[in-house]
Structure 1
């Protein structure tokens, strides 16, 4: 009957809603549920441009520059970790390190990787983030399109030499299998070697996972931001990679056409939801998600990227930038932004996330939305908090009031850290699920960007 179906639907929804959120690892910094990381080659701002960047709101400051080693965040480009095979753009006849993953001698790759780790992370017990930035080819055959189709072409050529009498269909099937098996083994053993040699690092690949929700170009009005079903299924095929990784590093960079638009938030929201889903794949703890973002956004984009990430339970936001930031004008513009809107917003959300973690989770977990699609954020209330500048540094005054505490409980839940459990992340406590069916609202949580 209709009544029975409706009751079943409601029960099914509530069961989904009540499903325990998987525990995750403790943050790198105690009592800091979300970390902000600056990862740009701006060390020359002070030495050459005489601009001392105000980096107070960043928990980790690192540089992707070649000669900087021993950092909390280490970014491994294609020439910095082992023997990575690829083809230079527009140079199909000039393979580097064999060009294809099946052409690499794995033992040689792992041996060189060990030496490279001694260079870039000399302390074997160091805690930090190790991000492998290898973008020349993708481990799934079907995702090597456009400029990456050279990897399909060259693999077909190899298979044709082995089996010259194969039909076109048989050739493609054999080439697909050969490439994907080699790519899987190469990436799998790379991550495993990293974990063995630097066990206190969180290991993962930049841009993984991706959900390819780029279908906004030319049709912004109908853009939903949803990840295509076929791409979610393809991500299932990469469970071997998620299971081996100890952190995920997706990107939420906004193209110019998405900036300051509602569609920009939809783009970020769905990419983060897919990353958080994948973070819980397999046994053990949920992997922490550190999203890559950009620093040059307007106020609306700060909310759509940073605010969205924090509210959905990201462990951190990494702000990456290129050498253009280290020019005289770039250094000055960045410093003004750090002292102004961006600095204030970072302080706003990190303080709100910390207060929510303290009040809801006893500092034993981080807060994330009960309803992922809802437009509720971890923002300080301007009625109880102020952000002021004191001795050239930004500071928060105030404490959460009853309305904020109620909003925390209504709109957010805890993702407990390893060793704790329960609604408030107390060790040994049995979790009691609660459901508040009140309408979600963000009234009273306007942005605290100015005093």
Structure 2
């Protein structure tokens, strides 16, 4: 494989069809790709053009940018999302149970049309609603206002109720309304722009941030109670067409195995939930940063492996790099970031995306992505330096080489193929031989049923003459002889 294109472009193959009604589902076929929504500030402000060759999507969350392959809908951009501003000021009713779904529906097409102009446009559509969570128990800290206001609403209607009665009904009303609001939003959004992959920012989460209490006993595992709560959201996972969890790394985890465990378990949980329901798994796009949380320190090479490498090895479909305007705050910060893009980050992205593509070609015939057979092993989709070389040519990174037998062996030993949603490989179906036994005098079966049973392909049918039931007690000799004949035919 010589002169591999460093840009891993999206390969869209969307077949229109409903679940269960077509051989193909409405979904995409894509290779690993990277996007950078916050990298457009350096050139106009400081004259520094960032080297973004490794990114398939470069998008901005700013108001004036439309027609992008990655579209982010903040709370004021999609319909009439209910929430409370600071100071307890209600917007659009404040609570989901006080929001008008009718008015929300009427408003939604305006926002969708503004940011995704073409009805058939393909891309990622992320709904960024962070004010409240659909599960009552998860509205802690600053989000507790949604529980308090819900209790106030119920207590006002039922002044004689006990606090326990009020709390129970308030939770029911909030969760039912939140569920309906999110579900109906997704359904309408998918109807308006069916070729987009729709999901919610930070969903799913597994709340494995207990490293903040110390690293001594930190395992990175998602708490069992949070995984159970995620299971309560199966209604949401089945309606989404993509997941957008985050793997932002705190500085306390820098260059440690704990950081790897933190990311691993978050991606594992997303992949678990991506398989909920019928059909193939939904694609998972992880949000990450080139720096540690609350710092401008860039990720070490160890942590590039722990974030990007870990996510790709677990089967993530793509990586979304996120950041705020601080990246473009000065010429120095832009130059530092550009050096990182041309150096460690750019080289690693090219390395891992090329290896992922080669594994897909080897294991999936380019119709799926590779993921670890054993999720908790430290094996990665990396190019071997003995067979590949990454060089900079004219300011662009390029990779040359072809996988050797050792690399192919790693693919086959440690990775398996997960087909893309929408792809169905045609395979020869091997029927498992089955012995069907029924009594000729069984009154529960009519003559036509007897005929249908006898004509079943790939099956051995034993009709017990004079028997009312397919029971060995009724005709033991005939039953046992038929079983022996069946077993001998299998041999």
TM-score (norm 2): 0.79
Deviations 1:102-128 (CA, angstroms, capped at 9, x unpaired): 111101111111111110001010000
Number of the residue aligned with 2:37 = 39
Contact 1:25 1:288 in 2 (8 A): no
1:18-417 alignment, distance < 5 Å: 27=28, 29=30, 33-40=31-38, 42-89=39-86, 91-92=87-88, 94-296=89-291, 297-327=299-329, 328-417=331-420
Separation in 1, partners of 2:356, 2:26: 17
Deviations 1:49-104 (CA, angstroms, capped at 9, x unpaired): 11111000001111111110110000111111111111123x12x11221111111
Q: Give the unaligned 5+ runs of structure 2.
A: 1-23, 292-298, 431-491
Deviations 1:326-350 (CA, angstroms, capped at 9, x unpaired): 2222221111110000000000000
SS in structure 2 of the partner of residue 285 of structure 1: coil
Separation in 2, partners of 1:25, 1:271: 26
Number of aligned residues: 399
Distance 1:187 1:237, change over 3 A: same
Deviations 1:382-438 (CA, angstroms, capped at 9, x unpaired): 1101111111110101110000001110000101134656xxxx422559xxxxxxx
Q: Give the unaligned 5+ runs of structure 1.
A: 1-22, 432-451
Separation in 2, partners of 1:239, 1:350: 31
SS in structure 2 of the partner of residue 359 of structure 1: helix
Separation in 1, partners of 2:258, 2:308: 15
Distance 1:235 1:418, change over 3 A: closer
373-382 or 284-293, which moves further after superposition?
A: 284-293
Structure 1 runs, 4 residues or longer, greater than 3 Å off: 23-29, 418-421
Distance 1:429 1:36, change over 3 A: farther
Distance 1:26 1:355, change over 3 A: farther
SS in structure 2 of the partner of residue 222 of structure 1: coil
Separation in 2, partners of 1:189, 1:182: 10
Separation in 1, partners of 2:98, 2:213: 40
How far residue 360 of structure 1 moved from its aligned partner, in angstroms, is 1.4
Separation in 1, partners of 2:380, 2:25: 21
Contact 1:85 1:96 in 2 (8 A): yes
Contact 1:144 1:152 in 2 (8 A): yes
Number of the residue aligned with 1:11 = none
Separation in 2, partners of 1:111, 1:333: 46
TM-score (norm 1): 0.86
How far residue 27 of structure 1 moved from its aligned partner, in angstroms, is 4.8
